[in-house]
Amino acid sequence: MDIGGIVLLSLKVSGVAVIGTMPFAFLLAWALARGRFPGKMLLDALVALPLVLPPVVTGWLLLLAFGNNGPVGRLLNDHLGFTFMFRWTGAALAAAIMALPLMVRAMRLSIEAVDRRLESAARTLGASPLRVFWTVTLPLSLPGIFAGAVLGFARSLGEFGATITFVSNIPGETQTLPIAIYSALQMPGSEAAVTRLALISVALSLGALVLSELLARRFHEAKGRAHVL
Amino acid sequence: MSFSVDVERQLGDTHIAARFEAEGGITALFGPSGAGKTSVLNMIAGLMRPDRGSIRVDGTLLFDSATGVSLPPEHRRLGYVFQDARLFPHRRVRGNLLYGHHLARPEDRWMSLDHAVEFLGIGHLLDRWPATLSGGEAQRVAIGRALLSGARFLLMDEPLASLDRARREEILRVIEAIRDEMKLPILYVSHDRAEVDRLASSIVLIGE
């Protein structure tokens, strides 16, 4: 069992999942925090859905949509020659969907926490709405955005059900840490491997959480703000 | 400088209406709490849209419901000093002071950072974070920030309300100096009669 390869694959899948999801998560968080539109409650519920749905159902839905016979999957395959099926990119997509609710939630809270009166003050000082966004709203919500990214990363590292349903268990391609642990558990005499993989999992997740907390603190040391977790 | 304000706005159960002409100096908008004095300032600043009316400053039309003119706040060239200083918590004092200064067109800037710092006596605060300032210090920085943005006039919303007696006197002197030395017109909201009598050259009653 190639433990180094498994860890690297997991980090790659989670990293790509989080970086790819960031812009969408931020737009959704912004719409939910600031927007007023019909169907907002429905959008809110849809974003949160992967959190409460059995992961195997999320995986199956991904299979329906992005599988080679699914509407999106066929389109991608016909026009771009690209497929998620049985590829690490599919594992990243599954991880992204599962991480999305956590990321949106953290970002939304931090956007909602920005004092709108500071934005008004900036307007009277000559800033256009776009400039207010870049110089006031975004910097003030950065800790939450970082916290959301790190939480999403930690969630992605642990993703199992949707991934194994969607892209199966292929060593070197879709066999991430949790799936490797599951596989090892099926084989007699692999307790040592399971222990090692599990310890690495604990270390990575703990590291991610501590990192997000440190980032948030460092950011607001001088500004008298509380931590974000 | 002349102001010509005639605005109305329904806000929940409160009907806010103000109609006045004013020249330079300090014009106090005076009246009981909840009468909508702050809303009138917000309408002049462009932060709240009147249901009806017009706002003209020195011949420039800032708002007119009849013709649909409504300049956004960033083009009204005013400085707004709020009751709670509203400094940007993620910028040091220097960054706060220069925020509007950098956004103003060079020909609109009439005060330098050095001048403002000396005028307000805040040189020792430049590298501090807003969270570490006292109420009086924060309010002086907020006034400096408004002056440095190239404002043609100031709006002040109860700038002394959250200060203790000693700090009040300090800020009152600063406001008098802006009136007498800089000759900058100020629309000043207050519910404190003594404050208004001391500062204002004319009084507009709101909500009577």
Cβ contact, residue pair A223, B149, below 8 Å: no
**Residue of A126, A140, A225 with shortest CB distance to B149:** A126
Please check whether residue B133 touches A, CB under 8 A: no
B101, closest residue in chain A (CA to CA)? A125
Q: To the nearest whole angstrom, how far is the Cα of A19 from the nearest Cα of chain B?
A: 25
Query: Shortest CB distance from A126 goes to which of B82, B86, B100?
Result: B100
Sheet holding B52-57, edge to edge: B14-22, B3-11, B52-57, B60-64, B69-70
Minimal-distance CA residue of chain A relative to B105: A126
Q: Which domains does chain B have, with CATH numbers?
A: 1-77+154-208 (3.40.50.300), 85-151 (no CATH)
Q: What is the pLDDT of residue A218?
A: 65
pLDDT band (50, 70, 90) for residue A224 = very low
CA B37/CA B20 separation, integer angstroms? 13
**Interchain pair B86, A123: CB under 8 A:** no
What is the per-residue pLDDT for A219? 61
pLDDT band at A227 (very low <50, low <70, confident <90, very high): very low
| Interchain contact B94–A (C-beta under 8 A) | no
- The percent of residues above 70 in pLDDT, for chain B, comes to 100
The Cα A29–Cα A39 span in angstroms is 15
- E strands, chain B, are 3-11, 14-22, 26-30, 52-57, 60-64, 69-70, 78-81, 153-157, 186-190, 202-205
CB B15 within 8 A of CB B67: no
- pLDDT at residue A59 tops 50: yes
Q: Do B88 and A224 touch (CB under 8 A)?
A: no
- What pLDDT does A223 receive? 47
Tens-digit pLDDT profile for residues A69-87: 889 988 898 888 888 989 9
Domains and CATH numbers, chain A: 3-223 (1.10.3720.10)
* Integer Cα distance of B141 and A113 in angstroms: 24
Q: In whole angstroms, give the CA distance from residue B154 to residue B184.
A: 7
Q: A187-207 pLDDT, tens per residue?
A: 998 899 999 999 999 999 899
SS3 annotation, B51-99: CEEEEEECCEEEEECCCCEECCHHHCCEEEECCCCCCCCCCCHHHHHHH
Interface check for B85 against chain A (CB to CB < 8 A): the answer is no
Q: Which residues of A touch B41 (CB under 8 A)?
A: none
Please check the confidence at residue A226 and state whether its pLDDT lies above 50.
no
Residue A2, pLDDT score: 86
Q: For residue B30, what pLDDT is reported?
A: 93
Question: What 3-state DSSP class applies to B163?
Answer: coil
- Alpha-carbon distance B63 to nearest alpha carbon in chain A (angstroms): 15
Mark the ranges of chain B whose per-residue pLDDT is less than 50: none
Percent of the residues in chain B that have a pLDDT greater than 90, as a whole number: 88
Q: Which two tokens stand for residue B49?
A: 């849209």
User: Is A124 close to B80, i.e. CB distance below 8 A?
Assistant: yes
